[in-house]
Chain A
Amino acid sequence: MARRATITLDLRRLVGRWSLRAADHTGRFTFLVLDMLRGVAEWRIYLPRTFEQAQQVGYGSLFIVLLVAGFAGAVTSLQTGYQFTGTLPLYYAGAVISESMILELGPVLTALILAGRIGARYAAELGSMRVTEQIDALESLGRSPITHLLMPRVFAGILVIPALTMFANATGIVVGFFTAKGSLGLTYADFEYGARYFFRPLDLWYSLVKSYCFAAAATVIPCYLGFNAQQGAEGVGRATTTAVVSASVSILLLDVVITQLLLGVK
Chain B
Amino acid sequence: MIQVINVSKRFLHNIVLDGVSLEVRDGETVALLGPSGVGKSVLLKHINGLMKPDAGDVIVDGLSVPRLKRKEIQQLRSKIGYVFQYGALFDSMSVYENIRLGITDETCANDDGYCNDRVKECLRLVNLAPDVAEKYPAELSGGMKKRVGIARAIAGAPKYLLYDEPTSGLDPVNADVIDALIERLRDELGVTSVVVSHDVRGSFRVADRVALLWQAKIRADGTPEQVLASQDAAVQQFLERDLEMGLIQAEGEARAKRGA
Contacts and interface: CB of A to CB of B under 8 A. Distances in A.
A133 B82 CA distance: 11
Interface stretch (B83-91, B174-182, B212-220): B83-91
Interface stretch (A69-77, A138-146, A157-165, A205-213): A138-146
Contacts, number: 53
B50 A141 contact: no
Contacts of B78: 141-142
B230 interface: no
Nearest to B82: A140
Given A136-B88, A137-B82, A137-B84, A144 B48 contact: no
B115 to A, nearest CB: 14
A143 B74 contact: yes
Task: Identify which of A129, A138, A142, A144 gathers the most chain B CB atoms within 10 Å of its CB.
Answer: A142
Contact of B48 (A38, A132, A140): A140
Contacts of A183: none
Given A133-B86, A141-B152, 16 more contacts: A132-B88, A132-B91, A133-B84, A134-B89, A134-B91, A136-B50, A136-B84, A137-B89, A137-B90, A140-B48, A140-B50, A141-B78, A141-B101, A141-B104, A141-B156, A144-B74
Contact of A142 (B45, B86, B91, B104): B104
Contacts of A133: 84-86, 88
Interface in A109-136: 129, 132-134, 136
A227 B200 CA distance: 35
Interface in B72-107: 74-78, 80, 82, 84-86, 88-91, 101-102, 104
Nearest to A132: B88
Contacts of B91: 132, 134
A141 B80 CA distance: 8
Contacts of B48: 140
Contacts of A139: 50, 77
Contacts of A137: 82, 84, 88-90, 152
Residue from A137, A138, A143 having most chain B Cβ neighbours under 10 A: A137
Interface in B40-63: 45, 48, 50
Interface of B: 45, 48, 50, 70, 74-78, 80, 82, 84-86, 88-91, 101-102, 104, 152, 156
Contact of A140 (B75, B77, B85): B77
B173 to A, nearest CB: 25
CB-based closest 7 A-B pairs: A137-B88, A140-B82, A133-B88, A142-B77, A142-B78, A142-B74, A142-B104
Question: Chain A contact residues: over half helix, strand or loop, or mixed?
Answer: helix
A141 B84 contact: no
Interface string A78-91: 00000000000000
B114 to A, nearest CB: 17
Nearest to A38: B70
28 contacts: A38-B70, A129-B90, A132-B86, A134-B88, A134-B89, A134-B91, A136-B50, A136-B88, A137-B84, A137-B88, A139-B50, A140-B48, A140-B50, A140-B77, A140-B80, A141-B77, A141-B78, A141-B82, A141-B101, A141-B104, A141-B152, A142-B75, A142-B76, A142-B77, A142-B104, A143-B101, A144-B70, A144-B74
Interface in A31-50: 38
A131 B166 CA distance: 18
Nearest to A128: B91
A213 B163 CA distance: 44
B106 to A, nearest CB: 10
B178 to A, nearest CB: 18
A136 B44 CA distance: 12
B82 to A, nearest CB: 4
A133 B90 CA distance: 9
Contact of A141 (B45, B70, B102): B102
A227 B156 CA distance: 26
A38 B70 CA distance: 11
Contacts of B104: 141-142
Contacts of B156: 141-142
B101 A134 contact: no
Nearest to B149: A137
Contacts of B70: 38, 144
Nearest to A39: B70
